[in-house]
């Protein structure tokens, strides 16, 4: 199945309507960073989120990842209105539906690669089954780390750590993987390898990806580019392979 072909016919994964986000609400230094974001993503889409620094990308990513609450607007994830959920409800939804890949890998240094990847299962069930171990080992093999499963993050290169983080984000088969600058801290070769890996996983599993990036060439290799400028969506559509999206990236 080619997700690029089926994405438009796929069910809606998430929908934002008029989402606003303010910090220091009600104080003299109140500042609104998102001014009414409308965004929809279908299941299995591979989307780049771009925009200049301070445009609100990270805030939008945090709201999409249920790590922050919006100030106003509507957010439906898999048909569920997230505003109605309490902290535990948000956590459970995040645990079930989301996978995260951060710029600085953010692996737990005290755990081996395999243990980092099995953490979501341990967190959800209180134990790691043989099936969980097999799945984690398979994923680490798929990201090219079959020989490094028992190594700690400090014994892995930056690219390898990011691969572990990708395996961890995918281990519980989430509907959406949110990646915040997944290649931002890697050299060009590692960056290309990691991006190719994300595309490969997407092609194989059909998981939806939303990738925040400053790298124009990576954004152009996504199926859809959403550009946020000054807290609003300035551009949303297929990448213009010939020219960069409006605004500085």
Residue 183 to residues 68, 214, 235: CA-CA distances in angstroms? 23, 9, 22
Given candidates 122, 133, 216, 232, which one binds another protein under the rule CB under 8 A?
Answer: 122
| Least Cβ distance, residue 105 to another protein (angstroms) | 10
**Is the separation of the CB atoms in 195 and 202 below 8 Å?**
no
Nearer to another protein, 68 or 236 (CB): 68
Per-residue contact flags (x/-) with another protein for residues 28 to 67, judged by CB under 8 A: ------------------------------x---x--x-x
Segment interacting with another protein, rule: CB under 8 A, options 91-99, 131-139, 187-195, 236-244? 91-99
| Least Cβ distance, residue 92 to another protein (angstroms) | 7
Name the strand (E) or helix (H) holding 158: helix 158-170
In whole angstroms, what is the distance from residue 72 CA to residue 21 CA? 7
In whole angstroms, what is the distance from residue 137 CA to residue 131 CA? 10
Residue ranges in 193-232 that form contacts with another protein under rule CB under 8 A: none
| Least Cβ distance, residue 102 to another protein (angstroms) | 6
Nearer to another protein, 87 or 147 (CB): 87
Question: What residue ranges in the chain does DSSP mark as E strands?
Answer: 12-23, 31-42, 46-50, 72-77, 80-81, 98-101, 176-180, 208-212, 224-229, 232-237
| Least Cβ distance, residue 100 to another protein (angstroms) | 5
Question: Is 134 a residue that touches another protein (CB under 8 A)?
Answer: no
In whole angstroms, what is the distance from residue 145 CA to residue 125 CA? 25
Is the CA virtual torsion 61, 64, 65, 66 positive or negative?
Answer: positive
Residue 11 is given by DSSP the state: P
Per the listing, tokens 């925040």 go with 212
Given candidates 106, 151, 199, 235, which one binds another protein under the rule CB under 8 A?
Answer: 106
In whole angstroms, what is the distance from residue 204 CA to residue 47 CA? 16
Nearer to another protein, 163 or 221 (CB): 163
Return the half-sphere exposure (C-beta side, CA atoms, 13 A cut-off) of residue 5. 3
Segment interacting with another protein, rule: CB under 8 A, options 24-32, 83-91, 136-144, 201-209? 83-91
Per-residue contact flags (x/-) with another protein for residues 152 to 191, judged by CB under 8 A: ----------------x-----------------------
| Least Cβ distance, residue 93 to another protein (angstroms) | 9
Name the residue among 18, 48, 9 with its Cα closest to residue 202: 48
Chain residues that interact with another protein, rule: CB under 8 A: 58, 62, 65, 67-68, 87-88, 91-92, 94-96, 98, 100, 102, 106-111, 119-120, 122-127, 129, 168
């Amino acid at each position: 199945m080619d997700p690029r072909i089926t994405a438009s016919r796929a069910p809606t994964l998430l929908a934002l309507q008029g989402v606003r986000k303010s910090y220091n609400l009600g104080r003299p230094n109140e500042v609104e960073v998102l001014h009414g974001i409308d965004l929809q993503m279908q299941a299995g889409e591979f989307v780049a989120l771009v925009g200049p620094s301070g445009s609100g990308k990270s805030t939008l990513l945090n709201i999409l990842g249920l790590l922050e609450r919006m100030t106003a607007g509507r957010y439906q994830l898999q048909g569920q209105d997230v505003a109605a959920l309490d902290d535990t409800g948000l956590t459970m939804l995040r645990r079930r539906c989301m996978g995260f890949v951060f710029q600085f890998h953010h692996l737990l240094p005290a755990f081996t690669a395999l243990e980092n990847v099995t953490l979501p299962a341990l967190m959800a069930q209180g134990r790691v089954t043989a099936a969980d171990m097999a799945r984690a080992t398979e994923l680490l093999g798929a990201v090219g780390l079959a020989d490094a499963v028992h190594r700690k993050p400090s014994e892995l290169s930056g690219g390898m750590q990011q691969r572990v983080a990708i395996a961890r984000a995918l281990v519980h088969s989430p509907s959406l993987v949110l990646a915040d600058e997944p290649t931002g801290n890697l050299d060009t070769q590692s960056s290309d390898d990691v991006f190719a890996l994300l595309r490969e996983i997407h092609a194989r599993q059909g998981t939806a990806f939303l990738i925040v990036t400053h790298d124009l060439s990576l954004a152009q290799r996504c199926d859809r580019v959403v550009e946020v400028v000054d807290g609003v969506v300035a551009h949303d559509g297929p990448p213009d392979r010939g020219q960069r999206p409006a605004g500085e990236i």
